[in-house]
Amino acid sequence: MKKTVKFVVSALAIVSLLMTSLVLVSFAASPKITLSTGTTSNGQTELIITVSKGSDLATFQAALKYESDKVKLMSVEYLSGDKNVSNTENEGVALLNDVWVESVNDKTDIIRLVFTAPADASTTFSLEDIVATDSNDNPIDFSQPVTKKIKVKASTPDQATDPSATTPASGGSSGNIPGGSTNGTSPNTGRVIASAAGVCGAAVAAAAVVIVLKKKNGKQD
């Protein structure tokens, strides 16, 4: 009888440990994208897109949607990544694309957008159509949409007095951005496409851009 009780207790303890491990693994395998807001030195509104720790993010594509009657997009700045492209031709949506040579595995601010507002108002930002992959080209399932509702203050579109907002928003812009702290691995093949398809039913007036990064092999081309 005592042996049976000991066996049952041991079995329950093992099951409990296994369940705890599964919960921890499940939690660790659920990376998140968050939105935070702030105010620049001249009163404009900034929106920061942040990825959580452990995401192994290698490519990122999304549409940031905003209420164009309440705020005006002034700039898009990539805070992390090695290749990027933005499409801001259509008011109300900014198509964002970012690629890393080494994947992001720390909590990292990846993109900063700056807005002005003609008047005080309550407005909502929504990050949708998120497509992302890790260093093994596996899709990352971020919960979406990610929304942020805030109150904005009236501000001027003049950026001259704000050194933190120096990247003007323009359709089809792209560039090389320092990667910063990534703590990740080299992707097998990172691919990002700035889609020329419609967003909210409106065609985006910019050609598709494809960026391909191949896994490092220690050899020079």
Which residues is 168 bridged to in the sheet?
A: 75
Which residues is 146 bridged to in the sheet?
A: 127
Q: For the chain, where are the E strands, in sequence order?
A: 33-39, 45-51, 57-65, 72-78, 83-87, 93-104, 108-116, 121-134, 146-152, 173-175, 189-194, 198-199, 202-203, 209-214
pLDDT at 176: 37
pLDDT at 170: 37
pLDDT at 173: 40
pLDDT at 156: 82
Paired tokens of 176 = 């090389």
Paired tokens of 130 = 């998120």
H or E stretch at 15: helix 2-28
Return per-residue pLDDT of the chain as tens, 221 residues: 555 655 544 655 564 555 554 444 444 558 999 999 999 999 999 999 999 999 999 999 999 999 999 999 999 999 999 999 999 999 999 999 999 999 999 999 999 999 999 999 999 999 999 999 999 999 999 999 999 999 999 998 864 444 444 344 433 343 333 333 345 665 654 343 333 233 222 223 322 332 333 333 333 33
pLDDT at 221: 39
180: region left, alpha or beta (phi > 0 left; psi from -120 to 50 alpha): left
pLDDT at 164: 46
pLDDT at 43: 93
Side chain identity at residue 140, one-letter code: I
For 12, phi then psi, to 5°, come to: -65, -40
Longest dimension (CA), the chain: 83
74 contacts 170 by C-beta, under 8 angstroms:
no
What is d(CA 29, CA 139) in angstroms, rounded to the nearest whole number? 12
